[in-house]
């Protein structure tokens, strides 16, 4: 088995050299230096994931759902039940399993727009371990033609450079970015403004609760004759007593004793002033929209786009989870196939996704009833190899 895994195909004729006409322009723009990411991934992760419940839940939902999808490996003739590549994905390294590795990879892509997987090579360059690297520590080093010639991983003052040859030790998966040639655009960046609004509304609510859950007011000094002002000592004493005896949740409802011409004027909010609750819900819906999660699944009120929870969950898988998982697994499959020297395809098994069971049953019935199609054409429409699975690796 290991011999098959390490087997390399016979060398083929050298392919014709081709290059994009815009490659030299990209290379001139980067001038062969490290192409630093224009965004601050660390700050976005801190404020939009670690400090925002909507962003946290959206990222976790997508990453966990995509990592839990069953994967299939096949070539043009058969679908493999067991294969060294599947074994590698099942136990990618000593500290992670398949679900943990893929969840970390999907999480990095959602938070930064980029995902990096390192292949730790064994004999003949075949990988024996896979590791997900933090995207905020990785930088792309472009070459003279605009394509990456290396990746630089920095932790503090220490750096390590990965050289890119015919078979790269790094699999770089990035989302589409219209204004960057080397890095992807994350949903977190698109939702950054909504994140700020949502976080600010939460801080405002917390400050209101700290002040006895009611709006502030004004202390008016009129003096004995209706005029005058407080002396410096009187002002400092008043401020000190307010801070120690009347601010904070523990002093909520405590009566205030005013003396010597002081009067309390409460300030209330009109109904329009209380619209910040709707503003917070609107910001939460924008965050969910940026990540592609139906607001109904996040418990955000006021959204009735889908008739029920089941339809929202089906849309979540069909429009968000599956496109991301198909793109990532296809890139990883192509990358690993170069390492092992086989032409294979890695993709999610749609027939084992409970949320899509109804759709898949209907598709199977529709294809099975098409008498004008051959068996090979039916299998191809269902995503199966053209022939049976007999002879698959054991």
Q: Are residues 133 and 172 in the same domain?
A: yes
List pLDDT tens digits, range 305-325.
666 888 888 999 999 999 999
Q: DSSP letters along 116-131, please?
A: EEEEEE-GGG-EEEEE
202 in a domain, yes or no? no
Q: Are residues 221 and 113 in the same domain?
A: no
The pLDDT score that the predictor gives to residue 146 is 83
pLDDT band for 369, please (50, 70, 90 cuts).
confident
213-222, 251-260, 385-394: the lowest-pLDDT one: 385-394
Q: Are residues 47 and 116 in the same domain?
A: yes
17-31, 99-113, 324-338: the lowest-pLDDT one: 17-31
Domain of residue 251: give its range: 216-267
Candidate ranges 117-121, 227-231, 329-333, 348-352; pick with highest mean pLDDT? 329-333
For residues 103 and 341, which has the higher predicted lDDT (pLDDT)? 103
How many structural domains compose the chain?
Answer: 2
CA distance 96 to 104: 10
The pLDDT score that the predictor gives to residue 72 is 92
For residues 113 and 11, which has the higher predicted lDDT (pLDDT)? 113
201 in a domain, yes or no? no
Which structure tokens are listed for 143? Answer: 């070459």
For a pLDDT cut of 90, what percent of the chain falls above it? 37
Q: Are residues 88 and 189 in the same domain?
A: yes
Across residues 276-282, what is the average pLDDT? 83
Across residues 143-165, what is the average pLDDT? 90
87-101, 247-261, 366-380: the lowest-pLDDT one: 247-261
83 in a domain, yes or no? yes
pTM confidence score: 0.77
Q: Are residues 183 and 250 in the same domain?
A: no
The pLDDT score that the predictor gives to residue 17 is 60
Q: Are residues 78 and 152 in the same domain?
A: yes
Q: Are residues 63 and 179 in the same domain?
A: yes
15-19, 108-112, 181-185: the lowest-pLDDT one: 15-19
pLDDT of 152 strictly over 70: yes
CA distance 155 to 318: 38
Q: What angle do CA 86, 165, 140 make, to 5 degrees?
A: 90
For residues 269 and 393, which has the higher predicted lDDT (pLDDT)? 269
Q: Edge-to-edge, what's the strand order for the sheet holding 114-121?
A: 127-133, 114-121, 170-174
Q: What backbone phi and psi angles, to 5 degrees, belong to 212?
A: 65, 25
pLDDT band for 147, please (50, 70, 90 cuts).
confident
For residues 252 and 71, which has the higher predicted lDDT (pLDDT)? 71
Across residues 255-280, what is the average pLDDT? 65
90 in a domain, yes or no? yes
Asked if 92 contacts 354 with a C-beta cutoff of 8 angstroms, the reply is no
For residues 66 and 228, which has the higher predicted lDDT (pLDDT)? 66
The pLDDT score that the predictor gives to residue 71 is 93
pLDDT of 185 strictly over 90: yes
Q: Are residues 131 and 247 in the same domain?
A: no
Q: Roughly how many angstroms between the first and final C-alpha of the chain, as a whole number?
A: 8
The pLDDT score that the predictor gives to residue 2 is 41
The pLDDT score that the predictor gives to residue 211 is 63
81 in a domain, yes or no? yes
Q: Are residues 96 and 39 in the same domain?
A: yes
The pLDDT score that the predictor gives to residue 4 is 44
Q: Which residues contact 249 (CB under 8 A, 6 or more apart)?
A: 209, 210, 212
203 in a domain, yes or no? no
Asked if 152 contacts 160 with a C-beta cutoff of 8 angstroms, the reply is yes
List pLDDT tens digits, range 3-48.
444 444 455 555 566 667 666 666 666 555 555 444 578 888 998 9
pLDDT of 1 strictly over 50: no
Across residues 89-112, what is the average pLDDT? 95
pLDDT band for 55, please (50, 70, 90 cuts).
very high
Q: Are residues 35 and 76 in the same domain?
A: yes
Candidate ranges 59-63, 252-256, 362-366, 383-387; pick with highest mean pLDDT? 59-63
Please choose, from the candidates 59, 37, 38, the residue with its C-alpha nearest in 3D space to the C-alpha of residue 48: 59
Q: What backbone phi and psi angles, to 5 degrees, belong to 119?
A: -100, 120
Please say which residue of 205, 237, 267 terminates a domain: 267
Partner residues linked to 72 by β-bridges: 347
Q: Are residues 315 and 255 in the same domain?
A: no
Q: Are residues 30 and 145 in the same domain?
A: yes
335 in a domain, yes or no? yes
For a pLDDT cut of 70, what percent of the chain falls above it? 71
84 in a domain, yes or no? yes
């Amino acid at each position: 088995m290991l011999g098959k895994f390490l087997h390399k195909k016979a060398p083929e004729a050298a392919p014709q050299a081709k290059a994009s006409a815009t490659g030299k322009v990209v290379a001139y723009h980067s001038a062969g230096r490290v192409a630093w990411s224009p965004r601050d991934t660390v700050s976005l992760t801190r404020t939009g994931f670690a400090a925002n419940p909507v962003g946290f839940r959206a990222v976790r939902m997508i990453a966990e759902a995509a990592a839990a999808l069953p994967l299939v490996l096949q070539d043009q003739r058969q679908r493999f039940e067991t294969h060294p590549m599947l074994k590698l994905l099942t136990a990618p390294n000593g500290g992670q399993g398949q679900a943990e590795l893929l969840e970390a990879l999907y999480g990095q892509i959602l938070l930064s727009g980029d995902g990096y997987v390192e292949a730790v090579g064994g004999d003949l360059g075949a990988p024996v371990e896979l590791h997900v690297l933090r995207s905020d520590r990785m930088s792309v080093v472009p070459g003279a033609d605009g394509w990456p010639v290396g990746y630089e991983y920095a932790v503090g003052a220490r750096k390590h450079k990965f050289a890119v040859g015919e078979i790269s030790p790094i699999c770089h998966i990035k989302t589409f970015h219209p204004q960057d040639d080397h890095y992807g655009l994350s949903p977190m960046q698109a939702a950054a403004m909504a994140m700020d609004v949502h976080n600010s509304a939460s801080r405002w609510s917390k400050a209101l609760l700290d002040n006895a859950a009611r709006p502030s007011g004004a202390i008016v000094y009129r003096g004995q004759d209706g005029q005058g002002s407080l002396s410096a000592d009187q002002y400092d004493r008043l401020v000190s007593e307010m801070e120690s005896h009347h601010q904070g949740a523990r002093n909520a409802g405590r009566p205030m004793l005013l003396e010597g011409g002081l009067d309390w004027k409460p300030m209330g909010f009109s109904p329009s002033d209380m619209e910040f609750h709707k503003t917070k819900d609107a910001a939460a819906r924008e965050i969910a929209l940026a990540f592609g999660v139906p607001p109904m699944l996040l418990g955000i009120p006021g959204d009735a786009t889908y008739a029920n929870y089941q339809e929202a969950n089906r849309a979540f898988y069909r429009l968000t989870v599956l496109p991301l998982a198909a793109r990532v697994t296809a890139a990883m499959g192509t990358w690993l196939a170069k390492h092992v020297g086989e032409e294979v395809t890695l993709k999610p098994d749609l027939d084992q996704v409970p949320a899509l069971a109804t759709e898949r049953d209907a598709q199977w019935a529709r294809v099975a009833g098409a008498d004008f199609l051959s068996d090979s054409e039916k299998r191809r429409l269902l995503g199966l190899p053209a022939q049976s699975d007999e002879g698959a690796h054991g």
